[in-house]
Amino acid sequence: MSKTFNAIIVDDEPIARDIIRTHLEKLPQLIVKAECKNAIDALAVLKAEHIDVVFLDINMPEVSGLSFGKLINKDVKLIFTTAHREYAVEGFELQAVDYLLKPISFERLKKATDKLTGFVQETEQEIRVKTDTPSDFTFVRADRKMVKVNFDDISYVESLSDYIKIHTNTDTVVTRETISNFEAKLPKLQFIRTHRSFIVSISSIVSFTNEYVEVPNKAIPISRSYKEEVLLRLQN
C-alpha cells in the first residue's frame, strides 16, 4: 500500500487554491486537510493536524511564504507556488521539495508530488540511522569535559561571538560554539530565535511585547529581522 500525504494549501488567492485542490483531488495519495488564505490560519492547522506537506504561496500579505516557511518544522515538506521566478533560490534554501511557477499545470504538480516519496525514504533512513541518538538533550564541551544539557532545562541561549552561554533553570554553561550551530541541534518547535544573539525557550517566556520577550529575571530583545516570525509564533 502506497503512503498517503496529508496536505494543506496556503494561498491568499481563492482561484489559486481552487486550481491546486482540483489537481490534488486527482492524486489519491494526497489528502487535502485544509485550505488557508494566510500564514496565521495555516499555523493553527499545523498545530492541530498532522501535516506532511504544505503547498505554500510566496507572495502573501502580512507574512510572506518565505518567512512562514522558516517557522515550519523541517519534518513538514514544502512545495512553493508563485508567479515570480526570482524567489526560487530562496525557496530552495529552505530545502523545499519543489518550486512551482503559476499557472500550475497538473503534469508539473504531479512531478513535484512524485518527489515526496524520495524525501520520505531519505527521512526514514535517517530515522533508522539515528534510532539510538537522544533527541531530548545534547552534550557540549565546558570546563575540559563534556556536559549534558537537557533541552527542557534551557531558558535561553546567548551568543558571545564564538562562544555561547546556555542559561538553564539551575546553571549557566559556557561553550565554544556559534549560536547558529547550536540552534540546529534544538527542537524547532520548542525554541525561537529572537535576535542574532539570542535563542529562547518558548515555555520559559512569561510575557512579550513587540520589542522584547521576558523570561524569569531577563528581558530579551526582539530584533527587526526576527520580529515578524517571533510575533507570528507567539500570537498563535
The string of pLDDT tens digits covering residues 152-206 is: 999 999 999 889 999 999 999 999 999 998 998 898 889 999 999 999 999 999 9
Residue type, 151: F
- Which residues are bridge partners to 164 per DSSP? 159, 175
Place of cell 503559476: 102
Matching CATH number, 137-234, of 2.40.50.1020, 3.40.228.10, 2.30.130.40, 3.20.20.70: 2.40.50.1020
Q: Residue 84: what pLDDT?
A: 74
Closest listed residue to residue 226, CA positions, set 87, 71, 95, 41: 71
Please report how many Cα atoms fall inside a 13 Å half-sphere around the Cα of residue 80, on the Cβ side.
29
Asked if the domains at 5-129 and 137-234 fall in one CATH topology, the answer is no
Region 27-51: what's the mean pLDDT?
A: 94
Give CA–CA dist 193/4, Å, rounded. 33
Model confidence at 24, pLDDT cuts 50, 70, 90, reads very high
Tell me the domain boundaries of the chain.
5-129, 137-234
Q: Are 65 and 79 in contact (CB under 8 A)?
A: no
pLDDT value at position 177?
92
Amino acid at the residue 135: S
The pLDDT of residue 143: 86
pLDDT in tens, 93-104: 677 888 888 889
| Backbone phi, psi, residue 34, to 5° | -165, 155
Q: Which CATH number fits domain 5-129: 3.40.50.2300, 2.60.40.10, 3.30.420.40, 3.30.1330.10?
A: 3.40.50.2300
What are the pLDDT digits (tens) for 59-71? 888 888 888 888 8
**Helix H segments across 49-87?**
65-69
